[in-house]
Amino acid sequence: MSELLQDDSKVVTNEAFDRLRSARHANPGAVAAALAHRARRPLVRGDGRLFIVAADHPARGALGVGSDRMAMANRYDLLQRLALSLSRPGVDGVLGTPDIIEDLALLGLLDDKIVVGSMNRGGLRGAAFEMDDRYTGYDVESISRSGLDFAKLLVRVNLEDPATVRTLEATARAVTDAADAGVPIMLEPFMSRWADGRIANDLSTEAVITSIAIACGLGSTSAYSWLKLPVVPDMERVMEAATLPTLLLGGDAGGDPEETFAAWADALALPGVHGLVVGRTLLYPPDGDVATAVDTAAAMVHAV
């Protein structure tokens, strides 16, 4: 799964990758220049819906897709898949950590796209410090300085782990800072718990509703806050838990793609749902056809 795409599917040329490496080696100022000169677009336009491709997994050490534990390890392969996704109609933007966003900027792939900066999390999967979710990627100042369009953070709430209170405090501060800077911020909340030495997110309807209630109250204002929520049973009740604009979390690859797409389609029809944020499910589909997977999701989001 981590093999490079076939030549006829490549969007980025070898020469473009040569220029990327050269800029990173000899001209680091090219990163800021590329971000400063990209063509920007309004966050909300047209039908008001957003389809964002997510690529913030590698910075969390989460390289696996399905049975391939190192599927996302080849950065060039990942960038090709992202480039192909961003070239498809109906894809509004991309979510990533600074390294991914800056690679895409240097390749000239971010014009007229919504760019979401991931603030990332320090609590790596399987680590003894997994609940220490201090932010280790973008902060609001760097998102604003880089001219990005959106901030994104994770809020895992573990009622049995004292580290949670630091996460909540840092998140509240980030929400306030984002509002002060006029930057929309996407909160991805979960009720979580330790299970066999790992953190497991509770995806029951009641737990998701509880996580929403906690996340909506963080910060001195919710004016710029959005939610990023998993698709779980009884999404009607979930969407009655808040008035904040919501994007759906695509989740991990696996299971029947048709069932996954059907669940997304049903949830996208609910009031307050304004789009979809999906990563590995579309970038690494079981049949390897990235363009078709992305086109299918785009058609659902934008009803094309």
Q: List the chain pLDDT tens, one digit each, 304 residues.
A: 334 454 455 789 999 999 999 999 999 999 999 999 999 999 999 999 999 999 999 888 888 888 888 988 999 999 999 999 999 999 999 999 999 999 999 999 999 999 999 999 888 888 888 888 899 999 999 999 999 999 999 999 999 999 899 999 999 999 999 999 999 999 999 999 998 888 899 999 999 999 999 999 999 999 999 999 999 999 999 999 999 999 999 866 566 778 888 999 999 999 999 999 999 999 999 999 999 999 999 999 998 5
State pTM to two decimals.
Answer: 0.93
- Distance, in Å, from the CA atom of 44 to the CA atom of 46, rounded to the nearest integer, reads 7
Collapsed DSSP state (helix, strand, coil) of residue 103:
helix
27 falls within a domain: no
Phi-psi region at 199: left, alpha or beta (left = phi > 0; alpha = psi -120 to 50): beta
- Distance, in Å, from the CA atom of 151 to the CA atom of 183, rounded to the nearest integer, reads 7
C-alpha distances out from residue 122 to 57, 86, 160, 164, 297, Å: 12, 28, 18, 12, 30
Domain that holds residue 240: 49-302
Q: What is the pLDDT of residue 4?
A: 43
Strand partners, 193: 200
- Distance, in Å, from the CA atom of 221 to the CA atom of 28, rounded to the nearest integer, reads 36
140 falls within a domain: yes
The pair phi, psi for residue 266, each rounded to 5°, is -65, -45
Token duo for residue 26: 């000899």
What's the number of domains the chain is made of?
1
Q: What is the dihedral of CA 29, 31, 37, 42, to 10 degrees?
A: -140
Q: What is the pLDDT of residue 196?
A: 86
**Which CATH number fits the domain that encloses residue 160?**
3.20.20.70
19 falls within a domain: no
Helix or strand holding residue 19 (H, E): helix 14-26
107 falls within a domain: yes
263 falls within a domain: yes
- Distance, in Å, from the CA atom of 287 to the CA atom of 99, rounded to the nearest integer, reads 28
91 falls within a domain: yes
22 falls within a domain: no
Yes or no: say if 44 and 54 are a contact pair by the CB < 8 Å rule: no
pLDDT, one tens digit per residue, over 31-59 is: 999 999 999 999 999 999 999 999 999 88
Triad 252, 269, 116: Cα angle to 5°: 50
Q: What is the pLDDT of residue 253?
A: 57
Picking from 279, 250, 56, the residue whose alpha carbon sits closest to that of residue 154 is 56
